[in-house]
Homo-oligomer: A and B are copies of this chain.
Amino acid sequence: MWGVAGLHAVSEYGRAVTASLHLSGDPVELTAALVDIPSVSRDEDAIAESVERALREQAGHLEIVRFGNAVLARTSLGRPSRVVLAGHLDTVPVNDNLPSRREGEIMHGLGTVDMKGGDAVMLHLAATITEPRHDLTFIFYDCEEIDYDSNGLTRLELERPEWLAGDLAVVCEPSNAVVEAGCQGNMRVKLTTTGRRAHTARAWMGVNAIHAFADALRRLEEYTAREVDIDGCRYREGLQAVRVGGGVAGNVVPDSAWLEVGHRFAPDRTPAQAEEHLRQVFEGYELAVVDVAAGAMPGLSAPAARELIDAAGGEPVAKLGWTDVARFAARGMPAVNFGPGDPTLAHTQQEHVPVAQIRRCAEVLSAFLG
């Protein structure tokens, strides 16, 4: 007994069973089928089962490995180069936006953008490109939307790093069907001020730690973010206060306060350089790094990357947010985002994708790889 229309069902033996997915057909319909298998992070059993089964049944030319709730597939044809395609199977929590719904040329629903459209394109390629120009590796993975340590790619890096190796990585996260290259780094720092507590009726006996942020906020207001061109991509940095707190009681001069600042930095800077820059900007303030993720250089001069850009036509653009592209870049591989959907709709209740973008991504990648 199989679930229909991609909704998973429970067999009479109480075991989750899976939807059947038709891989070589229309990638738009395949997207809808994937969307209709709920797969919130840590609950990817059903979708992983469906993906594994479909690949085993419909892509017999591939070596297929199940790795937890990740599904890995590859060719080993002795081609001179290898392209790795990666897509996560999980979504953020359901928000009254399932099942998928088609309105004309737009498909609505959780995951239509982030990123079952990309997964559908990958599955379509896996089944249809049987004689690729590059050797191919497909990675469908779990737990991308939660913490870094749970991410299927983190586990893969630790336990099966050979599956990540290649000459170009294409992460099929939404990019409006345009090649987005590299990604910016991200650093959060916490500034802390220290004063001296006093009763507000005798404020001159104290030193106000909140007032002490006047200058830091002025520097933030006056900050001119750097813009950088790398490999023809333009990166626009940013420096933003994201949280602030402080205070003791309504009648007390506060003796401590804090300000958390987020910095997006272009990939020509290392985290250490970004930290040094922030220490200069906030000279005189106590500063601690709370969180950091390195950026990724676009690496578009690599031959395989050039081929993809040619196939996609048009100019690549800079990736502004942080994606798993950075993992591949950290391994020395050129890595790009290329997938259907507007990334600014990711994680919103109103996720929706123009179906034309799904088809375009499948066509561009077929031309590039086939």
Q: A-side interface residues toward B, CB under 8 Å?
A: 184, 186, 188, 199-204, 206, 208, 210-211, 213-214, 217-218, 220-221, 225, 236, 238-254, 257, 259-260, 262, 264, 290-291, 320-322, 344
CB A257 to nearest CB in B, in angstroms, measures 6
How far is A188 from B249 in the complex, measured between Cα atoms in Å? 11
From the candidates B204, B250, B254, B262, name the one contacting A251 in the complex (CB within 8 A): B262
From the candidates B199, B246, B260, B264, name the one contacting A201 in the complex (CB within 8 A): B264
B203 contacts A214, C-beta separation under 8 Å = no
A238 contacts B208, C-beta separation under 8 Å = no
From the candidates B201, B206, B250, B257, name the one contacting A244 in the complex (CB within 8 A): B257
CB A92 to nearest CB in B, in angstroms, measures 13
Given A199-B344, A220-B211, A320-B202, answer yes or no on A242-B238 (Cβ-Cβ < 8 Å). no
From the candidates B225, B236, B250, B291, name the one contacting A243 in the complex (CB within 8 A): B250
B217 contacts A221, C-beta separation under 8 Å = no
CB A81 to nearest CB in B, in angstroms, measures 31
A248 contacts B242, C-beta separation under 8 Å = yes
Q: Which residues of B contact A241 (CB under 8 A)?
A: 208, 210-211, 247, 254
A245 contacts B244, C-beta separation under 8 Å = yes
Given A199-B344, A217-B217, answer yes or no on A242-B253 (Cβ-Cβ < 8 Å). yes
A214 contacts B210, C-beta separation under 8 Å = no
CB A252 to nearest CB in B, in angstroms, measures 7
CB A349 to nearest CB in B, in angstroms, measures 15
From the candidates B244, B245, B249, B259, name the one contacting A242 in the complex (CB within 8 A): B249
For A251, the closest partner residue in chain B by CB is B262
Q: Which residues of B contact A213 (CB under 8 A)?
A: 213, 217, 244
Q: Which residues of B contact A257 (CB under 8 A)?
A: 244
B203 contacts A238, C-beta separation under 8 Å = yes
B344 contacts A202, C-beta separation under 8 Å = yes
Given A203-B264, A245-B245, answer yes or no on A221-B210 (Cβ-Cβ < 8 Å). no
Given A200-B264, A220-B211, A221-B214, answer yes or no on A247-B243 (Cβ-Cβ < 8 Å). yes
B184 contacts A244, C-beta separation under 8 Å = no
A240 contacts B204, C-beta separation under 8 Å = no
Q: Which residues of B contact A203 (CB under 8 A)?
A: 225, 238-240, 264
Q: Which residues of B contact A260 (CB under 8 A)?
A: 247, 250
How far is A88 from B260 in the complex, measured between Cα atoms in Å? 44
Q: Which residues of B contact A199 (CB under 8 A)?
A: 321, 344
For A209, the closest partner residue in chain B by CB is B241
Q: Which residues of B contact A251 (CB under 8 A)?
A: 186, 242, 262
A243 contacts B246, C-beta separation under 8 Å = yes
Q: Which residues of B contact A184 (CB under 8 A)?
A: 201
Q: Which residues of B contact A188 (CB under 8 A)?
A: 250
From the candidates B200, B238, B252, B264, name the one contacting A238 in the complex (CB within 8 A): B200
A246 contacts B244, C-beta separation under 8 Å = yes
Q: Which residues of B contact A245 (CB under 8 A)?
A: 244-245, 247
CB A101 to nearest CB in B, in angstroms, measures 26
From the candidates B240, B253, B254, name the one contacting A200 in the complex (CB within 8 A): B240
How far is A210 from B210 in the complex, measured between Cα atoms in Å? 12
Task: Return 27 A-B CB contacts under 8 Å, by A number.
Answer: A186-B200, A199-B344, A200-B238, A200-B240, A200-B242, A200-B264, A201-B322, A202-B344, A203-B225, A203-B238, A204-B238, A206-B240, A208-B240, A211-B217, A211-B221, A213-B213, A214-B220, A214-B221, A218-B218, A241-B254, A242-B248, A243-B246, A243-B254, A244-B245, A244-B246, A244-B257, A250-B290
